Amino acid sequence: MSPTRPLTTPASAATAACCAPLAAHLPAYRQYLLDRGNVDSYVRSCEAAIAHFSLWMAQSKRPFADINEELVAEFTEEHLPRCQCATSARRREDVRAALVHLFVVLRSVGAIAPEAQDTTPVGDELRRFDQHMVDVQGLAARTRENALLLVGRLLRSRFTDGAFEFGAITPDHIRAFFAEQAKLYKTPKSIRSVVSALRLYLRWRSMLGDRIHALAGAISSPACWQQSSLPKALAPVDVQQLVASLGQPGPSMRRADAMVRCALDLGLRIGEVARLGLDDIDWRAGTVTLRRTKGRREDVMPLPEPTGRAIAAYLFEERPQTQHRMVFASHKTPRERCISAALVGKTIREAYARAGLRHTSAHLLRHTMASRLLAGGSTLKEVADILRHRSLNTTLIYAKLDSRRLLEVALPWPGSPASSADGSPV
The pTM for the full model equals 0.63
4/159: higher pLDDT: 159
Q: Is the pLDDT of residue 370 over 90?
A: no
Indicate the pLDDT class of residue 68, thresholds 50, 70 and 90: confident
Per-residue pLDDT, 8: 40
- Give residue-wise pLDDT tens across range 172-206: 999 998 888 888 876 777 788 888 999 999 999 99
| Per-residue pLDDT tens digits for 301-341 | 889 999 999 999 999 999 988 888 899 998 887 777 788 88
Q: Residue 29 pLDDT > 80, yes or no?
A: yes
pLDDT confidence bin for 419, thresholds 50/70/90 = low
Q: What is the mean pLDDT of residues 275-298?
A: 84
Domains 121-217 and 236-406 fall in the same CATH topology: no
pLDDT digits (tens, 9 = 90+) for 121-164: 888 899 999 999 988 888 877 888 889 999 999 998 888 767 88
> Does the pLDDT at position 9 exceed 50?
no
**Residue 374 half-sphere exposure, CB side, CA atoms within 13 Å?**
24
Q: How far is residue 293's CA from residue 275's CA, in Å, rounded to a whole number? A: 9
For the chain, domain boundaries: 11-108, 121-217, 236-406
Q: What is the pLDDT of residue 408?
A: 54
If one looks up domain 236-406 in CATH, what number appears?
1.10.443.10
User: CATH for 121-217, among 1.10.3280, 1.25.40, 1.10.3470, 1.10.150?
Assistant: 1.10.150
